[in-house]
Amino acid sequence: MDELRLTGDGSHTLYSPEYGQTYHSRFGAIEESRHVFVQGVRLEELLKRNETVTLLEIGFGTGLNFWLSARPFLTGNRRLNYRAVEARLLPGETFSRLNHARLLGLEEPFGAFLRWRAGIGPADNREYHFRYDTISLGLFHGEARRADYGEETFHAIYLDAFSPDCNPEPWAEDYLKRLYRSLKPGGLLATYSSRRSVREALTACGFCVEKRPGSRGKREILSAYKP
């Protein structure tokens, strides 16, 4: 079972014995997710420019990126269409132990999410749909390579899978090409990884890749732009 851990900004993360990694930075789970992903794809600008914003996340994990992204959409009339891929969907009990919803003031939609989660069984390579107010989540529960991402579907992508050392498939060039095709022109892909092999694979797919300063404890991260 994944172990609950408190991070430096007071928010929880999990440690996965299977992968030997935590889901977030020990310096701050919320701080890292906001900096790497929400700010990395310039979500605030997307929200201002579009009635409906479409986001894809590879590696749903604790759901923190989803809730951070959803929060600004729950206070206005803009809509968020969020899709995610996760092969190891956490049990509802594990989700409920995390303090993200309380810290973000999202207890009510999180309660609805937990009730929805209770109806999902083992991974079966199917997409399940959750809706609350102006946000919708399409969660593909299975292998990332089995999901259909479409062509020029998303405004932005969060690449948040476990690291290439223990989970190489989501970082392989042939898979990243599928992500490139699914992104609208002008879209951004954000990831916490800055390793050379990832930069080279993204560049080979056609992305314009740039390094960004990392959150606390990490020197650099990446944003990749689709021309």
Task: Let me know if residue 10 belongs to a domain.
Answer: no
Task: Let me know if residue 22 belongs to a domain.
Answer: no
CA distances from 100 to 66, 180, 197 (A): 11, 30, 32
What confidence tier does 223 reach under pLDDT thresholds 50, 70, 90? very high
CA distances from 161 to 44, 62, 71, 166, 219 (A): 23, 12, 22, 10, 19
Number of domains observed in the structure of the chain: 1
List the 154-159 sheet strands across, edge first: 126-132, 135-141, 79-86, 52-58, 154-159, 183-191, 220-225, 208-213
Rounded Cα distance between 73 and 77, Å, is: 7
Rounded Cα distance between 38 and 69, Å, is: 6
Task: Let me know if residue 14 belongs to a domain.
Answer: no
Question: In CATH, what number is assigned to the domain containing residue 176?
Answer: 3.40.50.150
Instruction: Name the token pair of 9.
Output: 């900004």
Does the pLDDT at position 179 exceed 90? yes
Task: Let me know if residue 8 belongs to a domain.
Answer: no
pLDDT digits (tens, 9 = 90+) for 137-177: 999 999 999 999 999 999 999 999 999 999 999 999 999 99
Enclosing domain of residue 164: 32-225
Task: Let me know if residue 3 belongs to a domain.
Answer: no
Average pLDDT over residues 27-45: 97
Task: Let me know if residue 21 belongs to a domain.
Answer: no
pTM score of the predicted model: 0.97
Task: Let me know if residue 17 belongs to a domain.
Answer: no
Task: Let me know if residue 112 belongs to a domain.
Answer: yes
* Three-state DSSP class for residue 83: strand
222, 195 Cβ separation under 8 angstroms? no
